[in-house]
C-alpha cells in the first residue's frame, strides 16, 4: 500500500483560504439579499438633539444620546371616561416654563414636570377635542367637535374666552383632525370627512381651502407663506395663493420606506421639514420601520428615525387584529438643550 504524504503548511494555507472565500461569498450573498429587501436608507447625521416625542399613549423627552429623561402617560382606562380610548393622545407640545400641553380624544390638559395635572378642559358627551394650540397671548385653543367650534381657553383655568364656528361634515370622530395657528393669527384645521384643510380667521371667516386626496392630519404655515399638509396621501406643499407646488406621495417614498400616515410637521433650518410617520393600523410586518423622516426643499429624504430608536422605554400599543406593535407617533418637537 502506498503511503499518503503528510499535508504541508502550504496545503493547510490553501484550505483555510478556500474556507475564507466561501464564508465571504455567503456573507456577501446575505448582504445583497438584505439590501434588495430593505432599500438603503439615508445616513445623514440626525437633525435632532433633544426632542419631545408625542405618541398616542403619552409624551417623552428624548436626550441627544437617545435615552428618555422624562415621560408622561395618562392613567390607563378605569372607567373615568366614556370609552376606553378617551385618553388616547393626538397632540401635544412642551411649554416654555417646563410644563407640557396635550390633547386627547376628550380633553386638553396641562401637566408639570412631576406629571401633576395643573388644569384641564373636557368636552362633553361623545364630542372630541383631538388638538391643542398655545396662543401668543398665553391662552390655549382646542376643538369641540359636537359644537363644531374652536374654543380659546384661559390657560390655568380652562375658562372659555372665545368661540370660533367651524361647521363641517361628518361625525364627532370624523369631523376634524389637528389644527395649527398661522403667523397672521388664523387657524389651519383639518376637515377629515371633507378631505381638505381650511384656513379660518378668529371671526369665523374662511380664507382658503386646501383639498387633498385622502385622510388629512396636520398643516403648517411656513415663513414664506407656503402651506405644507400631511395625511394618508403623504405630503403636499401649497403656495401662498393656494396652488399646489409639489407632493411626496406614498408611491414616491416607497423605494426608501413606506409612508403609512404622514402626521406632525416641524420646520427645520435650510428648508428642511421634519415629519412624523404614524403607524396606526399598519398591515404588513416591518412596514412601520421608519417613524419619522426629513425632506429637503427638493423633496429628497435626507434622514429617517427608525422604530428601534425607541428601545424599551416607550409604551406602545398592540393592534389586536394584527398582533403588531404600533408606536402611533403623532409629532416630534425639537427642544433646546436641557438644564
pLDDT tens digit sequence for 176-196: 999 999 999 999 999 999 999
Residue 23 confidence (pLDDT): 35
Q: Evaluate if residue 31 carries a pLDDT over 60.
A: no
Condensed to tens digits (0 to 9), the pLDDT of residues 136-175 reads 999 999 999 999 999 999 999 999 999 999 999 999 999 9
pLDDT at 19 over 50: no
pTM metric for this prediction: 0.86
pLDDT score recorded for residue 44: 77
Query: By percentage, how much of the chain surpasses pLDDT 70?
Result: 86
For residue 261, the model assigns a pLDDT of: 97
Q: Is 80 exceeded by the pLDDT of residue 301?
A: yes
Predicted confidence at residue 82, as pLDDT, reads 63
Local confidence band at 85 (pLDDT 50, 70, 90 cut-offs): confident
Report residue 185 as a C-alpha cell: 393669527
- Cα–Cα dist 62/244, whole Å: 35
Closest CA to 195 of 236, 147, 241, 240: 236
Residue 3, helix vs strand vs coil: coil
pLDDT mean over 119-135: 95
Using the predicted structure, report yes or no on whether residue 242 has a pLDDT greater than 60: yes
Q: Which grid cell is 268?
A: 427645520
Output the pLDDT for position 116. Answer: 97
Which CB contacts under 8 angstroms, 24+ apart, belong to 149-155? 150/179, 150/187, 150/189, 150/200, 151/121, 152/202, 153/108, 153/121, 155/110, 155/119
Tens of pLDDT, residues 65-84: 999 999 999 987 666 666 67
Report how far residue 188's alpha carbon sits from residue 179's, in angstroms, rounded to the nearest whole number: 5
Identify the residue whose cell numbers are 377635542: 129
Do you know the residue count of the chain? 339
Q: What is the pLDDT of residue 9?
A: 39
Q: Scan for cell 392613567, then name that residue.
A: 75
What is the reported pLDDT for 326? 94
Q: Is residue 5 scored above 70 in pLDDT?
A: no
Residue 145 burial (CB count, 10 A): 23
The pLDDT of residue 30: 30
Q: What is the DSSP string of 129-168?
A: ---EEE-TTS-EEEEETTTTEEEEE-TTT--EEEEEE---
Q: Which CATH superfamily is domain 48-335 in?
A: YVTN repeat-like/Quinoprotein amine dehydrogenase (2.130.10.10)
Instruction: Tell me what pLDDT residue 327 has.
Output: 96
Residue for cell digits 423605494?
A: 255
In the chain, % of residues over pLDDT 90 = 80
- pLDDT for 76: 72
Check whether 12 has a pLDDT greater than 90. no
What pLDDT score does 232 carry?
96
Question: Over 90: is that where the pLDDT of 32 sits?
Answer: no
Please give the pLDDT value at position 233.
Answer: 97
Of the candidate ranges 67-76, 107-116, 132-141, 226-235, the one whose mean pLDDT is the lowest: 67-76
Q: Is 7 a residue whose pLDDT tops 70?
A: no
Amino acid at each position: 500500500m502506498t503511503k499518503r504524504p503528510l499535508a504541508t503548511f502550504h496545503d493547510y494555507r490553501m484550505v483555510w483560504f478556500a474556507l475564507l472565500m466561501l464564508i465571504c461569498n455567503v456573507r456577501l450573498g446575505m448582504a445583497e439579499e438584505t439590501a434588495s429587501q430593505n432599500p438603503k436608507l439615508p445616513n445623514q447625521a440626525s437633525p435632532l438633539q433633544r426632542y419631545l416625542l408625542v405618541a398616542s399613549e403619552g409624551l417623552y423627552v428624548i436626550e441627544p444620546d437617545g435615552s428618555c429623561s422624562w415621560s408622561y402617560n395618562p392613567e390607563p382606562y378605569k372607567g373615568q371616561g366614556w370609552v376606553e380610548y378617551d385618553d388616547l393622545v393626538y397632540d401635544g407640545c412642551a411649554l416654555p416654563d417646563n410644563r407640557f400641553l396635550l390633547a386627547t380624544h376628550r380633553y386638553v390638559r396641562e401637566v408639570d414636570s412631576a406629571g401633576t395635572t395643573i388644569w384641564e378642559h373636557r368636552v362633553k358627551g361623545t364630542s372630541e377635542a383631538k388638538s391643542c394650540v398655545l396662543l401668543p397671548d398665553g391662552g390655549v385653543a382646542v376643538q369641540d367637535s359636537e359644537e363644531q367650534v374652536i374654543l380659546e381657553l384661559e390657560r390655568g383655568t380652562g375658562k372659555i374666552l372665545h368661540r370660533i364656528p367651524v361647521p363641517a361634515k361628518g361625525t364627532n370622530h370624523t369631523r376634524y383632525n389637528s389644527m395649527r395657528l398661522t403667523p397672521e393669527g388664523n387657524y389651519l384645521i383639518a376637515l377629515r370627512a371633507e378631505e381638505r384643510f381650511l384656513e379660518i380667521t378668529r371671526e369665523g371667516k374662511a380664507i382658503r381651502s386646501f383639498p387633498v386626496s385622502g385622510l388629512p392630519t396636520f398643516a403648517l404655515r411656513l415663513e414664506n407663506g407656503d402651506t405644507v399638509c400631511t395625511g394618508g396621501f403623504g405630503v403636499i406643499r401649497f403656495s401662498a395663493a393656494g396652488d399646489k407646488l409639489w407632493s411626496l406621495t406614498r408611491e414616491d417614498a416607497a423605494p426608501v420606506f413606506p409612508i403609512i400616515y404622514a402626521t406632525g410637521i416641524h420646520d427645520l433650518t435650510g428648508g428642511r421639514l421634519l415629519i412624523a410617520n404614524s403607524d396606526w393600523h399598519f398591515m404588513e410586518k416591518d412596514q412601520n420601520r421608519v417613524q419619522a423622516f426629513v425632506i429637503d426643499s427638493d423633496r429628497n429624504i435626507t434622514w429617517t428615525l427608525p422604530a428601534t430608536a425607541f428601545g424599551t422605554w416607550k409604551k406602545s400599543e398592540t393592534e389586536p387584529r394584527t398582533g403588531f406593535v404600533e408606536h402611533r407617533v403623532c409629532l416630534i418637537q425639537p427642544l433646546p438643550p436641557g438644564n
